[in-house]
Amino acid sequence: MRNSSLAAPVLDDLLCFDLYAASRQVTAAYRPVLAELGLTYPQYLVLVVLGAREDVLIKDVGRELRLDHATLSPLLRRLERDGLVTRRRSADDERAVVVALTDAGRALHARFGDVHCRVGELLGISAEEAAQLRALLRRLTAGLD
């Protein structure tokens, strides 16, 4: 028998694989629910961030979502084209761009409680388990930052 600390890992031993598989499945659970709203999962996340505040600097949206500018800009462009957000130069610093929900974006954001409930039912874990999992994942992420 080999020493397990020296053995090559198998998938069952890899936390990274479980995180990857869970992430893919959760995103897939959102897909049909968000399709009814005409949104992709990344667009949904942007609107969630914007729904919490009036005006948000694009760099702050990127920081919260852990997205770089090259990934975030096309998302915002599509959301603006669809009439869900506006982008404008900051009054304080014209190099910075502020993004905000439009009335249509706020109306769509108001429906996100239903999205959360529907997907929550699909996850098959209790609210307490979800809170524990979020706390553990945030601790993991913070440790890697």
64 lies in a domain?
yes
The count of structural domains within the chain is 1
- pLDDT at position 5, please? 62
Domain range enclosing 80 = 12-135
CA atoms within 13 A on the CB side of 58: 23
**Whole-number Å distance between alpha carbons of 47 and 42:** 9
Task: Please tell me whether the overall predicted TM-score, pTM, comes out greater than 0.85 for this model.
Answer: yes
Q: What is the mean pLDDT of the chain?
A: 92
Residue 26 covered by a domain: yes
Higher pLDDT, 96 or 135: 135
Tokens of 91: 């009054």
CATH number of the domain that residue 73 is part of? 1.10.10.10
Is 6 inside a domain boundary?
no
